[in-house]
Structure 1
């Protein structure tokens, strides 16, 4: 960026880098003109017969001057073809040489009345275009002095007509007029070119900044054709849709197909552009996404612009509103439900002390106690959800943290119960940003469930903990796998719904609260289908650069 700003500053000067390149290009064009003129002058020596006594004063000097001028221009042309970059002093020397050579040829020929005087006007004009400064005025002054000098010499020494002096004065006026006009035009063109270059650089810088912003946005942006092929995609879109940022993200010709859920939504939208696409998941471990589509070109409609939003942000906002409502609701729950629930539990305890209870009454009391505890557990879970503080995140080494959690969790279990917790950690796991205490609550819930179902199914208190890296190599995940009976396919989509449970003694809020805690930390809790017995729950953390 600093280089661009420096170039912008130089562009305002006639001799800054952009002006220098333009000056060199114009000098190349002028030298082509000089080569053509010198070739014509040499050719005229052979094509147009002449009488030396009537048309030339010094024929030999004229011929030598024309041939030398051609050789000089040819040599300069070869230097330019070889890559020589002319500087200001080279251009100034070339213009001065042209003015002096042309006046030398005028002196050797028939004087100021010769048509070669028109070539002096071209040289003065070229000088003022190439150097629109006071040096251009000097070219005009030199040309006028030379013209007047030749005419004056001819009148004094060889008795030429005094009209030559008038003609020379007229040429001098023309030289100065040419200089003034072309200097004004050249300076105006240089300022316009500098302004255009500055704006072009500003546009290029703005385009580069926009490109960087688009690539770093957490909102996914896609450009699709009507067949559902991706033409352009930023890194966030690649991460959200495919779990990995492609090396071709943001480049044209990137014809990757859309995930099936989004492709079906695109087909429905093409049939009814006013229809909103339902939220979808590209895969089982992906967060819930929302796509918004619009035509990029309203006239042709060949390309479609798609914005992909991670619903976890919206979910977080909804959670804040929900928690505020739950806070007011649970205060009433605690008063209106816990008081009669306490009375029921107390009455059950008093009945239990009665000596006249038969077996049927005892069973009824067991039912009362069990369901009282269940109702109380539901109230406690809802209260915990409403009281939950905001996530206090920090950057965590996932592998080291998971080892510490395993040791701490084993210490909380009964010593008499043998428990096997296997731990697997990949190498070079990315760091993750989350609230340790909240995510540990999730792991405790998952581990408790896993141990309970593993023991019920296999008789062993055994689970597996694993930490790994997502497909994009930038996000960490933690798996909790049990060896229980697993979850029936028809129940897999309902396990995270509140109050859904297959355990008669459960409240149905454990996994729901676990997912809520993960969403509060911008992580995603999902049930992974790995084709193996038991259940595998995966916590996929957000990119460590994403601030919560």
Structure 2
């Protein structure tokens, strides 16, 4: 702008000096050099040579223009530019120093003009003093405003960063919630839905789609009505909602709604729906009731144990003094039922013990075939009237990561279960194999009818049994003990060919973790002969 103004004055013959024209050209070159060669610097942090050099060039250039122009044009207002530059981008000492330098230059110019024209001395000094005072005030106020704006900007940036982090945290929390979260506006449009909500509303079938508006699908209308009631009343208690899709399985939900901003009116408010699968909620309630019942059962079993032992001992003493066969039959009935009660009490207490076990002893290993021979022999000895047992062991030193006492408990429960539900046409088959990736497996097979689907779903749950005379704890204890040692127990319907013709039966398979080389084998006390 200065070069254009001075060039126009020179071409129009208005008395512009060539020296002033050259000075404006040099000032343009200096400005371009700073623009091209200068680097971005944070303002107001510390002394900065780049800002100081820029301000110095401005002050020198404007002072030279004021001196060379000879009074035809007043360049004093241009001095506000370097002062504002120092106040906004530099430190307070730099701003005040620039204002002091400009004030001294103005006073020097007034003194020089007073030497040339002594008649106008007082007005020139007064004007220079007032201008200098104004420049000091401008420098101070501009710097204070710049510092405050810088502080507010830093605070805003920090709050924005915290808001972004909090927003991301909220998104992660909502996305990983097991409960569905659905955000709906007053027009029924879905503004947001986490994966759990999309799964609950859509289901797993591709025929369903994530809603963009709750009124687009007939099955979603109960949710739309619930949202309208929420906007009208402010919030709704937990409500059961059934989504009936044509030709597809229905979805049963528990829905709790709440407005995003309580008490806010207008279309800008949002309704937040919290969705839960009603079947999962009922399952959790059943688990809590089952856990409470288990604790109560354990306490009752502990209290029953001592009186039951006293009844059994008294019955044994009474049986010694009786001569009548009819009365002996009564005492046998008492002994049989007390033994049955004692087994139930032991099973209930076993459940309590299993729940307090650690996650398995990583340093204990058992030689599987030897342990199975000993346990099966003991089971045959304790159950002389039981059906035949067919052992099919690998014969090799298969070692599994399992506690020997816990293995005994698991195998005894599986053998008792096989004897109880077998058809007794074929012997119980007890075998060991090495499965995939070197995992040892124990399999207990017995003939018998297939289990109903409802029974299979609850097979390993506590207190579940298809017979009224069973406590329903045997398979649950097996599963808990297996989980403590990172083993897995499964049930399957398989066939065996003992005489060429396939015979279908029920098989329980326990898949063990292989024992590491550093683990030591637990003592099993194996006997050399295998039971048959």
Per the normalisation by structure 2, the TM-score is 0.60
Matched, 1:301 2:271: yes
Matched, 1:488 2:463: no
Match of 1:148 in 2: 107
Q: Is the 8 A contact 1:450 1:463 kept in 2?
A: no
Pairwise CA distance, 1:118? 1.5
Pairwise CA distance, 1:448? 3.2
Alignment of 1:13-32 (within 5 A): none
Match of 1:45 in 2: 6
Cα distance in structure 2, aligned partners of 1:141 and 1:499: 94
Match of 1:60 in 2: 18
Task: Write out per-residue CA displacement over residues 428-471 of structure 1, whole angstroms, 9 at most, x where no aligned residue.
Answer: xxx9xxx96997577445543576568957535235689999xx
The change in CA–CA distance for 1:94 and 1:455 in structure 2 (over 3 A counts) is farther
Cα distance in structure 2, aligned partners of 1:523 and 1:310: 28
The change in CA–CA distance for 1:304 and 1:380 in structure 2 (over 3 A counts) is closer
Superposition RMSD in Å: 5.6
Cα distance in structure 1, aligned partners of 2:28 and 2:445: 96
Cα distance in structure 1, aligned partners of 2:458 and 2:291: 23
Match of 1:124 in 2: 83
Cα distance in structure 1, aligned partners of 2:367 and 2:492: 27
Structure 1 SS opposite 2:155: helix
Structure 1 SS opposite 2:506: coil
Match of 1:419 in 2: 391
Matched, 1:461 2:448: no
Match of 2:383 in 1: none
Cα distance in structure 1, aligned partners of 2:320 and 2:127: 133
Cα distance in structure 2, aligned partners of 1:440 and 1:114: 107
Q: Is the 8 A contact 1:223 1:303 kept in 2?
A: yes
Match of 1:85 in 2: 40
Match of 2:339 in 1: 373
Alignment of 1:51-450 (within 5 A): 56=16, 59-79=17-37, 84-86=39-41, 88-111=48-71, 114-157=73-116, 161-162=120-121, 163-203=123-163, 220=178, 222-224=180-182, 231-232=193-194, 258=203, 270=223, 274-275=237-238, 294-295=256-257, 297-298=259-260, 299-301=269-271, 304=274, 322=293, 325-326=296-297, 328-343=299-314, 370-385=336-351, 388=353, 391-394=356-359, 408-414=371-377, 419-420=391-392, 443-444=410-411, 447-449=414-416
1:534 to 497, 503, 506: 506
Cα distance in structure 2, aligned partners of 1:376 and 1:454: 24
Q: Is the 8 A contact 1:132 1:186 kept in 2?
A: no
| Structure 1: 5+ residue stretches without partners | 1-39, 242-252, 279-289, 424-430, 470-476, 542-548
Cα distance in structure 2, aligned partners of 1:301 and 1:136: 55
Pairwise CA distance, 1:314? 8.2
Cα distance in structure 1, aligned partners of 2:392 and 2:491: 22
Q: Is the 8 A contact 1:225 1:302 kept in 2?
A: yes
Match of 1:15 in 2: none
Cα distance in structure 1, aligned partners of 2:301 and 2:329: 31
Pairwise CA distance, 1:99? 1.6
Pairwise CA distance, 1:139? 0.8
> Paired residues, what number?
435
The change in CA–CA distance for 1:73 and 1:515 in structure 2 (over 3 A counts) is same
Q: Is the 8 A contact 2:360 2:485 kept in 1?
A: no
Match of 2:474 in 1: 510
The change in CA–CA distance for 1:367 and 1:390 in structure 2 (over 3 A counts) is closer
Pairwise CA distance, 1:176? 0.8
The change in CA–CA distance for 1:115 and 1:302 in structure 2 (over 3 A counts) is farther
Which is greater in Rg? 2
| Structure 2: 5+ residue stretches without partners | 43-47, 209-218, 227-235, 242-251, 261-268, 381-388, 396-400, 496-504, 514-532
Cα distance in structure 1, aligned partners of 2:453 and 2:404: 32
Task: Write out per-residue CA displacement over residues 374-422 of structure 1, whole angstroms, 9 at most, x where no aligned residue.
Answer: 2332233234446x3762424766xx86766676445433299653468
Cα distance in structure 1, aligned partners of 2:463 and 2:318: 27
Pairwise CA distance, 1:335? 5.0
